[in-house]
Amino acid sequence: ILAGSYNPPHLGHLAMLEYLSNRYTRVIAVVGFNPNKKYPVSPGQRKELLEEMLEGTASNNIEVAVVDGYIWRYGKRIGASTFFRGIRSWEKDGKDERALQILNTWGPMV
């Protein structure tokens, strides 16, 4: 799983997905969203944009899913073995990503 808001999907996301596609049998780009945030583009639209971008690649083992709620629960339900996230920089995303890492690490064990 490569989880993110994909708001909007861009070439960096595409590069990460292609990289993972070459190393794993199945890759799922999970479009996550926080119901308490306002997004200019809906999660469904971001999914469609990402799928359109993927059509132009040689990767045929990437799926796109919209997930509300805890992504680790979705990953556990589908039997995912690895969870990836990208950050812009530690200064911009570090604190929030650290909190998500703790939640995603400890959540399945509680």
pLDDT of residue 78: 95
Query: What is the rounded CA–CA span in Å between residue 85 and residue 31?
Result: 11
Q: Is 79 left (phi over 0), alpha (psi -120 to 50) or beta?
A: left
The 10s digit of each residue's pLDDT in 12-61 is 999 999 999 999 999 999 998 877 778 889 999 999 999 999 998 989 99
Query: What is the rounded CA–CA span in Å between residue 72 and residue 108?
Result: 7
CA 91 to centroid of chain Cα atoms: 20
* Res 8 pLDDT > 80: yes
Longest dimension (CA), the chain: 41
pLDDT band at 108 (very low <50, low <70, confident <90, very high): low
Q: Which of 64, 62, 72 is nearest to 26 (CA)?
A: 62
